[in-house]
Amino acid sequence: MNRVYNFSAGPSMLPVPVLEKAASEMMCYGDSGMSVMEMSHRSPVYEKIIADAEAKLREIMNIPENYKVLFLQGGASTQFAAVPLNLIGRTGKADYIVSGQFSGKAFKEAQKMGYDVKCIATSKDTNFDRIPVVTKDMISPDASYVHICFNNTIYGTKYSYIPDTGDVPLVADMSSCIISEPVDVSKFGVIYAGAQKNMAPAGVTLVIVREDLLEYGDPKMPSMLDWKLMAENGSMYNTPPCYSIYVAGLVYDWILSIGGLDAMKERNEKKAALLYDYLDSQDYYIAPVQKDSRSMMNVTFVTGNEEIDKKFPKEAAAAGLVNLKGHRSVGGMRASIYNAMPYEGVEALVAFMKKFAAENPKA
């Protein structure tokens, strides 16, 4: 069996020790006599699995006591609707910063539901090649929340700072950067993330919400979107995505085993630096993102020649480097180098890029 270096934006690579552990427990978890897939979510064995997963995540992210951790379903996209349903009751209005496709979708979802929402900043004019500048005076003081997407998976941009929104709660979609580095949770009202980029297989969506924000939900909202109801039921109002939560727990174990998020950040910075330093050192490939907005997780680049851009991912795949084609709205290439991508994978990519450039002159 030959595993490839998988640069997919999501679902994406999981750490090998996690896959091995899951495989070893596939037929029988502990002395339960069954797979986690086959287990009642109300059983004491499973209750311990979900409680341990939450405890480990709290440890890794240093989540303050006054925040609830929810393991939900429906992906980050379902939270685009859940965010206004749970929060807009605070003041009846909300602000959005549109820095790419996902934050644009979140904004549109709230608009579609008829809410009074405003886009206060966007980088659409420059095809989302940067994080728009956000200063405190741009925030509506009477907004229920300000919504941002912290790392823009498609364009390869990330906030290099946490916007200061004063007393207005900051809500962040962190689907593609969650647990990639330490973040000060107390600066956010809500953090949410689909798991399939950096945390687990698809199926579980994480919501971290400050307790005092659980009081503003629309009474008519569907129960499955109701954070307060989910919090009161320990994420088990209905059947949770049991197996994905179990794998998330294994991923948290792995992060703890390598030294937590400080160590994770160091690894991720080293990988991203290798790729960006190479991109900056030559002129065959162009990195379209402004330097101060570069993502550590998703690295985009183009050659400026459509034919060559098409050829690159094909030849890379033949060399064992797969899923490097950029998103259709950007073109070119995208290397997603999440937590589970080893340094050697990025080394292999840079070596391939050098060889490819030498073999495929543009003029």
Ligand X SMILES: *Cc1c(COP(=O)(O)O)cnc(C)c1O
**Spatial contact of 147 and 96, defined as CB atoms under 8 Å apart:** yes
CB atoms under 10 Å from CB of 125, counted, come to: 8
Nearer to ligand X, 21 or 105 (CB): 105
Say whether residue 102 binds ligand X (CB under 6 A): yes
* Nearest distance, CB of residue 359 and ligand X, angstroms: 33
For position 197 contacting ligand X by CB under 6 A, the verdict is yes
Q: Which is nearer to ligand X, 42 or 328 (CB)?
A: 328
Tokens of residue 153, six digits: 């998976």
Least spacing, CB of residue 9 vs ligand X, in Å: 7
Residue 11 in contact with ligand X, rule: CB under 6 A:
no
Those residues whose C-beta lies under 8 Å from the C-beta of residue 236, and which sit 6 or more positions away, are: 41, 42, 50
Which residue lies nearer to ligand X by CB, 151 or 303? 151
Of 63, 8, 60, nearest in space to 265 by CA: 60
Q: Which helix (H) or strand (E) holds 81?
A: helix 75-87
DSSP string, 166-189: TTSPEEEE-TTTTTSS---GGG-S
Give yes or no for residue 75 binding ligand X (CB under 6 A): yes
Decide if residue 111 touches ligand X (CB under 6 A): no
Q: How far is the CB of 363 from ligand X (least distance, A)?
A: 36
Q: Which is nearer to ligand X, 172 or 213 (CB)?
A: 172
Q: Are 209 and 190 in contact (CB under 8 A)?
A: yes
Of the residues 86, 99, 165, 175, which one makes contact with ligand X according to CB under 6 A: 175
Alpha carbon distance 355, 78 (integer Å): 42
Of 195 and 213, which has the nearer Cβ to ligand X?
195
Q: Is 73 in the site for ligand X (CB under 6 A)?
A: no
Using CB under 6 A as the binding rule, whether residue 199 contacts ligand X is answered as no
Give the interface segment with ligand X, choosing from 38-46, 118-126, 169-177, 281-289 (CB under 6 A): 169-177
Please confirm whether the linkage preceding 141 is cis (ω < 30° from 0): no
Nearest by Cα to 178 from 250, 248, 78:
248
Residue 273 φ then ψ, to 5°: -65, -40
Nearer to ligand X, 10 or 189 (CB): 10
Q: Return the ∠ at Cα 157 (arms to 152 and 159), rounded to 5°.
A: 95
CA–CA separation, 71 vs 80, rounded Å? 16
Distance between start and end Cα atoms, the chain: 40
Q: Does 173 bind ligand X (CB under 6 A)?
A: yes
Q: Which of 35, 77, 140, 360 binds ligand X (CB under 6 A)?
A: 77
Q: Which of 5, 10, 61, 268 binds ligand X (CB under 6 A)?
A: 10
Angle between helices 260-280 and 44-61 (to 10 degrees): 60
Report in angstroms how near the CB of residue 142 gets to ligand X at its nearest.
27
Tell me which of 194, 249, 313, 326 binds ligand X, using CB under 6 A: 194
Choose between 54 and 173: whose C-beta lies nearer to ligand X.
173
Among the listed ranges 107-115, 170-178, 242-250, 260-268, the one in contact with ligand X (CB under 6 A) is 170-178
* Residue from 22, 72, 76, 146 binding ligand X (CB under 6 A): 76
Of 295 and 303, the one with the shorter C-beta distance to ligand X is 295
Total binding residues toward ligand X, as defined by CB under 6 A: 12
Q: Is the bond preceding 11 in cis, omega lying within 30 degrees of 0?
A: yes
Question: What are the phi and psi torsion angles at 166 (to 5°)?
Answer: 60, -130
What residues make contact with ligand X under the rule CB under 6 A? 10, 75-77, 102, 149, 153, 173, 175-176, 194, 197
